[in-house]
Structure 1
Amino acid sequence: MTSDSSRALLSQLTPSPDKVEAYLGDTYVLESVEHLTRLGIDPATFARRHSLLLLKPDAIVARAVAPTLEWLGANGFEVVGAYRVAVDRHLARALWYFAWNIASPERRRLADLLVDISDALVLVVRDTDGALPAPVRLTEAKGATDPRKRRRGELRYLLGRHNYLLNLVHSPDDPADVLRELAIYFDEPTRAGLLTRLGAGVDQAGEVARIAAELYERTPAGSFDRASALARIARDLGAEEPVSDEDCARLLYSAWDAGRDLDPWSVIVLGSYVLPMRSGTRSQTLRPVAANDWLEARP
């Protein structure tokens, strides 16, 4: 595609001019657009009708697959693909490339621990509603990253782990992000298989159950309770349990500085409550797209 045609396509898929400019040279976006076009699939149509829902390693620990499936069905989303995806620090940085610049060093460290906990489950979903592009409606309906902003009926509210870092699920904000994340999660053969099966109408419930069982067998369920995590860490260090957030943070910093080997899940849970999540750097993030942004920007 030429630069002009790419700009015209992306302008249909996001109301953010900054995102259009950034994605013109993004390898993942270009790869998906080229692949879909080569297979005779209109990238814009695909990205409006479909979205992706990542159940992160914390969702596996929380045993969140079944309630997520129930919520999707009740909210007009049909699961048309399910894939087990290996996660590592590079996948995390690819997904959040345009937001990770404002993450604190502590948040990145916790995220790097989290990706070693389990593989993830990626669901490909089709919206049966159609009033908004699928990724826009799913993002609005799943709830905010900030637990204080979540509302009853949203997926993250339903799943009940009211934490900023351990928010269990991720989805692309708009159709442009669908194209980008499609190529992050899936190589070309996997994408080709997915696209071939989309029209077959195969029920994915059995595949989701199979992948969930595999992930649950490998990854124990865990507590998201701060007090339990602190007790485990203090016991392993032979230390008194601190009370304040600041003293809990100092306990983690001291253990890291000393190279102590701590239970990763306990560090993730405690750290998610007491360590800073944002750096002091001025944000260059591509602002998430809200439903009203999309509606106001579209003719």
Structure 2
Amino acid sequence: MSSGSPGGRDGIVGDSLRELLAGSTPSAEKAGVYLDDTYVQESVDQLDRLGVDAAKFAMQHSLLLLKPDAIVARAVEPTLQWLADNGFRVVGAYRVPVDRHLARALWYFAWNIASPERRRLADLLVGISDVLVLVVHGPDGELPVSVRLTEAKGATDPRKRRPGELRYLLGRHNYLLNLVHSPDDPADVLRELAIYFDERTRAAVIAQADTGVDRSADAVAIAHDLYTHAPARSFDRADALARLLSDLDRPGFTLPPELDLESDTGCAQLLYSAWAADQDLDPWSVIVLGSYVLPMRTGTQPQTLRPVSATDWLEGRS
């Protein structure tokens, strides 16, 4: 009996996948973990069956998720323009339903440090709208397309964003409501491809991406359809607080008298009190206010896989 990984990737198959992953991420830890990841296995197996070089596909393409907050912010058109201005071509655009399970699959290796409050807000956010997933192609270069795109889109932490970056351009300077997500490196591209799309859809995604035809018009059409189902809303903290106070102005609920609603602590306590009393609240306003005043990280557990940067990639290849 041949020996192999716990996930059953043994013999020549396991060796081939191990080699592919070693060339798809500078993180040895990630390569080891992804060897047994079902999503990675599904994408690699399907690309192989279709006669597509998985390593090359993952190097030359990336994915860009425009989250429900991007739909509410009407951020699709500015994003498409930014991509074109920065040398990226949209070769696929897809409307994807989202739920709490997709969110957990996507951020499985990072959410072990997410606070319970952040997970609760994220679960509300996926109920706001379907999302737009773009397949992005870029020119060959020293960096994979995914690494270039992740570096160029800007940091999750708004304090670290810089002019010229996508998240800076979109202007919603908030940690949770950061509008867009992209895979860090080619290994993540393979994994996320199978998270967003089932096998039949993936086949169409791969075939369409291989043509290299610009699909920005498809993205605009999907965006306008999404906009009709998700109205534009304010990202302003004061507007969110005012709406929640209006929601709570009803018989059977009394605000704690000591609340200082000018402070983060007071606003957080407002949300905790409303949740404890099982009050029906406007989800968007909860998301916005919570994103400003609730803790986003636990600070008690190490991150399973740290993010990969362009420097990591270049140093890993030197």
CA separation in 2, counterparts of 1:162 and 1:113? 19
Aligned to 1:66: 77
Matched, 1:109 2:120: yes
**2:261 is aligned with 1:242:** yes
Tell me if structure 2 keeps the 8 A contact 1:231–1:241.
no
- Divergent runs of 4+, >4 A: none
Q: Is 1:42 matched up with 2:64?
A: no
Q: CA deviation at 1:209?
A: 1.5
CA distance in 2, matches of 1:273, 1:183: 32
Question: Which residue of the other structure, out of 181, 187, 195, is the alignment partner of 2:192?
Answer: 181
How far residue 41 of structure 1 moved from its aligned partner, in angstroms, is 0.6
Single out whichever of 82-91 and 283-292 deviates more from structure 2.
283-292
Matched residue of 1:53: which SS? strand
CA deviation after TM superposition for structure 1 residue 234, in Å: 1.3
Please tell me whether the aligned partners of residues 260 and 266 of structure 2 are also in contact (alpha carbons under 8 angstroms): no
Deviations 1:81-140 (A, max 9, x none): 000000000000000000011000000000000000000000000012523100000000
Alignment correspondent of 1:260: 279
- The 2-side partners of 1:196 and 1:142 are apart by 26
Partner of 2:94: 83
What TM-score comes out, normalization by structure 1 length?
0.97
Shift of 1:6: 1.4
Q: How far apart, in 2, do the equivalents of 1:201 and 1:149 lie?
A: 33
Q: Does 1:221 align with 2:232?
A: yes
Give the fraction of aligned pairs with identical amino acids, expressed as a percent. 72
1:270 and 2:277 correspond: no
Tell me how far apart the structure 1 counterparts of residues 300 and 50 of structure 2 sit (CA, whole Å). 42
- Residue 241 of structure 1 and its aligned partner are, at CA, apart by 7.1
Equivalent-residue separation in structure 1 for 2:194 and 2:248 (angstroms): 43
Equivalent residue letter for 2:92 = G
1:96 maps to 107
Computed over aligned residues only, the root mean square deviation of the Cα atoms, in angstroms, reads 1.2
Q: 2:23 is paired with a residue of what secondary structure?
A: helix
Q: Is the 8 A contact 1:52 1:123 kept in 2?
A: yes
- What SS does the corresponding residue of 1:128 show, helix, strand or coil? coil
> Structure 2-normalised TM-score?
0.92
Q: 1:220 to 1:51 in 2, by over 3 A?
A: same
Q: What is the letter of the counterpart of residue 234 of structure 2?
A: S
SS of the equivalent of 1:2 reads helix
Aligned to 2:299: 280
Inter-partner Cα distance in structure 2 for 1:86 and 1:65:
17
Shift of the alpha carbon at 1:188?
A: 1.0
Q: Do 2:161 and 2:167's aligned partners in 1 also have CA atoms closer than 8 Å?
A: yes
Structure 1, unmatched stretches of 5+, are none
Distance in 1 between residues matched to 2:217 and 2:167, nearest whole Å = 24
Letter in 2 for 1:135: S
In 2, Cα distance between equivalents of 1:63 and 1:47 = 29
Distance 1:201 1:45 in 2: 14
2:222 aligned partner, one-letter code: I
